[in-house]
Amino acid sequence: MRNKTWILLSAITIGCASSYPVPNDQMAAAQKEVGRAEQSGATSVPDAKLHLQLAQENISKAKSFMEKDNRRATVLLQRAGAEAELAFSLATQESARADANQTIDQLGKAKEK
């Protein structure tokens, strides 16, 4: 009787653990971050492009885990969001650096006149 109770409790615990909610909101958030990174020019900055690709790969992997292992899908989507945010930051940084260099060049030309 004791073994049956233990087995029943184990089955209930496993059943509850596998009923992790489908991460639809996390999927939407990760895809939004990827779009934001793409719009910022991440595809033209090598480091940003790498992180953007990693984000897209994590989203793809998460799609394959959804419904089967929602917990793992959620973790992958959190990673994807973080990678996409990094891609956005790197692209924005590169754009700011280019603008600063252009301003410095213009100031140097203005001094020469």
pLDDT per residue over 21-72, tens digit each?
A: 999 999 999 999 999 999 999 999 999 999 999 999 999 999 999 989 999 9
| 65 belongs to a structural domain | yes
Stretch 101-113: mean pLDDT: 84
How many domains would you assign to the chain? 1
Q: Is residue 13 part of a domain?
A: no
Q: Is the dihedral of CA 23, 25, 30, 31 positive or negative?
A: positive
Q: Is residue 109 part of a domain?
A: no
For residue 50, what pLDDT is reported?
Answer: 98
* Domain ranges, residue 52: 22-103
CB-based contact 37:87 (threshold 8 Å)? yes
pLDDT at 14 exceeding the cut of 90: no
pTM of the model: 0.77
How much is the mean pLDDT over the chain? 88
Quick check: is 40 in a domain? yes
Query: Is residue 108 domain-resident?
Result: no
Residue whose C-alpha is closest to residue 56's, from 74, 30, 75, 36: 30
